[in-house]
Amino acid sequence: MAKPLTAVAVEKLKGETVRREVPDGGLTGLYLVIQPSGKKSWAVRYRHAGKPRKVTVGPYPAFDLKAAREAGAALLRAASEGADPAAEKAQAKALALANVDPDDTVEKLLSTFIERHVSRNRSASEVERLFRKEVIPAWGSKRITDIGRSDLVKLLDKIVDRGAPYTANRTFANLRKFGNWLVSRGLIDRNFCDGVEQPAQETKRDRILDDRELMLVWKAAEDMGFPFGPLVQILILTGQRRDEVAGMRWSELNLASATWTMPRERTKNDKLHQVALCDRAIAILKAIPRIHGSDFVFTTTGKTSVSGFSRAKEAIDKKIEEMLAEEENADPVPSWRFHDLRRTAASGMARIGIGIAVVEKILNHVSGTFSGIVGIYQRHEFLEERRHALEAWGSYVGSILEDRPTNVVELRAAE
């Protein structure tokens, strides 16, 4: 079996007298193609209708090892589902070249990129919002061939300087994908992100709300009412991701069996995910008003799921401050984010005796306990254990809200 390639190895490999393909053991089916001239590119080999097929991923270094593996994995996954990526790419390229001009403005090219590439992704709305807020105002009227590294650095520095380093990193990551898309279609020769480092260093967060803080957030959410109040409460009770809860559909819910089933296209790891709903979660969902003809649970228009999380977070913080103002010498609640509720639920379940394997299944993680060879052979989904765990967590949250003693032994879920 071929060894996984490394970034250093890819850089050092040189051209020989004949063209050669070097397999990447890190992703079976991905090859580094090296021409006698030393020029390198990536390709994926697969089978379609019983015949061997090959599709080019993109040139190196426009596609580094990480980007090649990400793109290659997507192509191989499509092939495993019966698609023919080579034929589809050839057709898409022909359409792109026929309808997209390299002299078009950045705004027009970004719109095409969003429509043909981003719109299939779970995070499409967030990516489009990022482009329209951060990129189009600065670059929208420019030609793509006029964009260089200095323009990118100036754009990212401006975002960092206004105190939004994480937004700068997200903007950079999505512009890199946009640049790779342009290179793959022959619209530019080199990605303008090449040679530019991530604009800000990210520190892994470990913020967990204690019981007092969790109670304050719950009660503040309760005072807010629909839609963000119950949304935050469901975040606490299920430990799921913010956008997954916000995008919840009635068609995904079976309240009779207390189960929420997210289809694979709505999950981060592209895997169908079942979430058990405790009695408290069921009561919250049953009280939510339904808009006739809409499948969205958390919506005010009926046409889209809710957005505006920053304003909702500010409103919750304000309500918490008002509650604390009524207490004598009350300690303020340190800064927190919605994602911290997911970490708090995971930590809380572990604290009352839920096994890490069950917690990771609840969070729909494929890393950690279920990574590598363990993930290949460990197919047990712990469905019953997950239900016991979330029921126990719901009871624990209830004990906090009702300010009653908690018997951790009674809450311990069967494993």
Query: Each residue of 124-149: pLDDT tens digit?
Result: 777 888 898 899 999 999 998 889 99
The CATH number of whichever domain residue 311 belongs to comes to 1.10.443.10
For residue 90, being part of any structural domain is answered with no
pTM for the whole structure:
0.57
Q: Identify the H or E element spanning 46.
A: strand 40-48
Q: Do residues 109 and 74 share a domain?
A: no
For residue 89, being part of any structural domain is answered with no
Place of tokens 């990516």: 127
Q: Identify the H or E element spanning 54.
A: strand 51-60
Chosen domain end from 184, 202, 231: 184
Query: Each residue of 282-327: pLDDT tens digit?
Result: 999 999 999 999 999 999 999 999 988 989 999 999 999 999 988 8
Q: Do residues 237 and 292 share a domain?
A: yes
- Distance from C-alpha of 42 to C-alpha of 57, rounded to nearest angstrom: 5
Q: Cβ(255)–Cβ(285) under 8 Å?
A: yes
For residue 93, being part of any structural domain is answered with no
Q: 218: exposed, middle or buried (C-beta count within 10 Å: 0-12, 13-18, 19+)?
A: buried
Give the single-character DSSP code of 63. Answer: S
Query: What is the phi/psi pair of residue 34, to 5°?
Result: -120, 120
Q: Do residues 366 and 329 share a domain?
A: yes
Helix (H, G, I), strand (E, B) or coil at 231: helix
How many residues are given for the chain?
415
Q: Do residues 140 and 245 share a domain?
A: no
Tell me how many domains the chain contains.
Answer: 3
For 44, residues 6+ apart whose C-beta sits below 8 A from its C-beta are 29, 30, 31, 54, 55, 57, 72, 75, 76, 79, 85
The stretches in the chain having pLDDT less than 50 are: 98, 369-379, 409-410, 412-415
Please tell me the predicted confidence (pLDDT) of residue 96.
Answer: 52
The CATH number of whichever domain residue 122 belongs to comes to 1.10.150.130
Q: Do residues 106 and 74 share a domain?
A: no
Q: Which of 210, 205, 197, 189 is nearest to 168 (CA)?
A: 197
Please tell me the predicted confidence (pLDDT) of residue 91.
Answer: 65
For residue 171, being part of any structural domain is answered with yes
Q: Do residues 349 and 302 share a domain?
A: yes
Domain range enclosing 20: 7-84
For residue 198, being part of any structural domain is answered with no
For residue 347, being part of any structural domain is answered with yes
